[in-house]
Amino acid sequence: MNYELFDVIVIGSGIGGLVTATQLAAKGAKVLILERYLIPGGSAGYFQSQGYTFDVGASMIFGFGKKGTTNLLTRALEAVNVNLETIPDPVQIHYHLPNGLDLKVEQNYEKFLQNLINYFPHEAKGIRSFYNECQKVFNCLNNIELLSLEEPRYVVRVFFQNPLACLGLAKYLPQNVGDVARRYIKDPLLLKFIDIECYCWSVVPAEMTPMINAGMVFSDRHYGGVNYPQGGVGKIAQKLAEGLEKAGGQIQYQARVTKILTEQGQAIGVQLASGQVYHGKRIVSNATRWDTFEKLLPSARMPSNEKIWQQRYKKSPSFLSLHIGVKASILQANTECHHILLEDWQNMELAEGTIFVSIPTLLDPDLAPTGYHIIHAFTPAWIADWQGLTPTEYEQKKEQAAGRIIQRLEKIFPGLDAGLDYLEVGTPLTHRRFLGRTDGSYGPIPQRKLRGLLGMPFNRTAIPNLYCVGDSTFPGQGLNAVAFSGFACAHRIAVDLGL
């Protein structure tokens, strides 16, 4: 062999890819990440303009807790000896909902329950029972080492170490939140609230949201809490990339993989848009499954289990994103960092229905010039609605859509329009272009009601030596979730390589 052979080549430096790569490099593997963009992070990336540092996507970050086993971002950074300061956020979300439901999800569990019970005193018992059941799921997860469920010896080991936690997880794996919520709660408005509690991260209502994921989110926000990285979300990927290099791994930017190379049906390497070829004993794709099996591999030869997956899961919408710089004076004292705005329950799942808002400068003022704040407002949007337009039509459509969002936000931030200093509008086309994701999608969502997380694939694929990592693998979207997928993927590969 006269070419350089890597142990592992990772396509993409999203958090899933970075965690896989850093875990393996820390174990001594020779690792190369190939990233198509200029910086690492993918949907957890950033951009800078006129003194502002904007998060492109994620900004409500779980996984930075100090205890338990679910603090996977803390653990991923520690594994490669890098450190990142984080700022605790005392309130996960301030909801501004129909029927005058104006509610804060405080980090303090009892305070949150009390806030909700104040609106639904007749459901006090049901509220406690439902959220306590979510805590049970979390306690099971938080008591075991989170690694690859595709590694039988590990599964046996954790089972004997903690049989009750494992049996608990097995019980919840096929369940969805809606079924559990309806066991305890009858009030239709409260069930709507549980729907948006799920929708704001799963982008589907409670009926379709796996209980395992809800157990994590609804409990960790009161345990490890929501913590914002000092310097912006982009720092997480930057630090992991730094840790990767410290551990002997390599990362190359502007290196777009166009093909996964196979020989006798096994993955053996990748080819870049430049024509450059790299060989690896194991190939990991951090691109979405649609990109992996329809673009990087010949779609005509898609493995049958991927076809089944596509029948079960569809692409969620993308987002219309407003990156706003605004005079600090328009925000009232005690404004929280994260908000959800919805005026009509009927619109929750529609394009431009629910508006998500993050104001990270309330936690880290250095992300904006003195006297200004960042407001990142985003709302679901379908790529089909943004295609086939002339450049002028596209600009006009962006302007009109931004106008509608700003007008709605005036309700919670009066004076926003007048206080605008900066506005950049991203559409599903922007998400597709900069994040490299098919249709700019946020990720897979069930086509129909599925049995919890049972249908979500793990890291191995039908193609020997090819693995997937990230939000189209178990357990789905979110930074801590894709970090879990990264730990699992690295674990399985390390065993396969005998590391």
Ligand X SMILES: Cc1cc2nc3c(=O)[nH]c(=O)nc-3n(C[C@H](O)[C@H](O)[C@H](O)COP(=O)(O)OP(=O)(O)OC[C@H]3O[C@@H](n4cnc5c(N)ncnc54)[C@H](O)[C@@H]3O)c2cc1C
Q: Does 361 bind ligand X (CB under 6 A)?
A: no
Question: Near ligand X by CB under 6 A, which window of 36-44, 117-125, 138-146, 325-333?
Answer: 36-44
Comparing CB distances to ligand X, the nearer of 36 and 94 is 36
Residue of the chain from 24, 57, 119, 194 that contacts ligand X (CB under 6 A) = 57
Comparing CB distances to ligand X, the nearer of 319 and 413 is 319
- Residues near 89 by beta carbon (within 8 Å), at least 6 away in sequence: 60, 107, 225, 226, 227, 228, 337, 338, 363
Angstrom distance (rounded) from CA 385 to CA 320: 11
Comparing CB distances to ligand X, the nearer of 187 and 349 is 349
HEC sequence for the chain: CCCCEEEEEEECCEHHHHHHHHHHHHCCCCEEEECCCCCCEHHHCEEEECCEEEECCCCCCCCCCCCCCCCHHHHHHHHCCCCCCEEEECEEEEEECCCCCEEEEECCHHHHHHHHHHHCHHHHHHHHHHHHHHHHHHHHHCCCCCCCCCCHHHHHHHHHHCHHHHHHHHHHCCCEHHHHHHHHCCCHHHHHHHHHHHHHHHCCCHHHCEHHHHHHHHHHCCCCCEEEECCCCHHHHHHHHHHHHHCCCEEECCCCEEEEEEECCEEEEEEECCCCEEEEEEEEECCCHHHHHHHHCCHHHCCHHHHHHHHHEEECCEEEEEEEEEEHHHCCCCCCCEEEECCCHHHCCCCCCCEEEECHHHCCHHHCCCCEEEEEEEEEECHHHHCCCCHHHHHHHHHHHHHHHHHHHCCCCCCCCCCEEEEEEECHHHHHHHHCCHHHCCCEEECCCCCCCCCCCCCECCCCCEEECCCCCCCCCCHHHHHHHHHHHHHHHHHHHCC
Question: Near ligand X by CB under 6 A, which window of 6-14, 22-30, 245-253, 299-307?
Answer: 6-14
Q: Does 94 bind ligand X (CB under 6 A)?
A: no
Residue of the chain from 209, 286, 427, 465 that contacts ligand X (CB under 6 A) = 286
Q: Does 15 bind ligand X (CB under 6 A)?
A: yes
Residue of the chain from 64, 323, 478, 489 that contacts ligand X (CB under 6 A) = 478
| Shortest Å distance, C-beta 36 to ligand X | 4
Q: Does 43 bind ligand X (CB under 6 A)?
A: yes
Q: Does 474 bind ligand X (CB under 6 A)?
A: no
Question: Near ligand X by CB under 6 A, which window of 87-95, 112-120, 476-484, 487-495?
Answer: 476-484
| Shortest Å distance, C-beta 350 to ligand X | 17
Comparing CB distances to ligand X, the nearer of 42 and 325 is 42
Q: Does 482 bind ligand X (CB under 6 A)?
A: yes
| Shortest Å distance, C-beta 295 to ligand X | 7
Binding-site string for ligand X from residue 288 to residue 307, where x marks contact by CB under 6 A and - marks none: ---x----------------
HEC sequence for 197-212: HHHHHHCCCHHHCEHH
The single residue listed with the structure tokens 């052979």 is 5
Q: With CB under 6 A, what is the number of residues at the site for ligand X?
A: 38
Question: Near ligand X by CB under 6 A, which window of 58-66, 155-163, 246-254, 416-424?
Answer: 58-66
Binding-site string for ligand X from residue 444 to residue 473, where x marks contact by CB under 6 A and - marks none: --------------------------xx--
Which residues inside 316-345 make contact with ligand X, applying CB under 6 A?
A: 319, 321
- Quick one: tokens of 206? 């409670």
Comparing CB distances to ligand X, the nearer of 43 and 238 is 43
Residue of the chain from 22, 23, 53, 59 that contacts ligand X (CB under 6 A) = 59
Comparing CB distances to ligand X, the nearer of 38 and 308 is 38
Residue of the chain from 378, 382, 413, 458 that contacts ligand X (CB under 6 A) = 378
Comparing CB distances to ligand X, the nearer of 123 and 471 is 471
Which residues inside 400-439 make contact with ligand X, applying CB under 6 A?
A: 435-437
Q: Does 32 bind ligand X (CB under 6 A)?
A: no
Question: Near ligand X by CB under 6 A, which window of 300-308, 412-420, 477-485, 491-499?
Answer: 477-485
Comparing CB distances to ligand X, the nearer of 195 and 291 is 291
User: Taking Cα atoms as reference points, which of 230, 237, 202 lies closest to residue 89?
Assistant: 230
Binding residues (CB under 6 A) for ligand X: these are 11-17, 34-37, 42-44, 57-61, 256-257, 286-287, 291, 319, 321, 378, 435-437, 442-443, 470-471, 477-479, 482
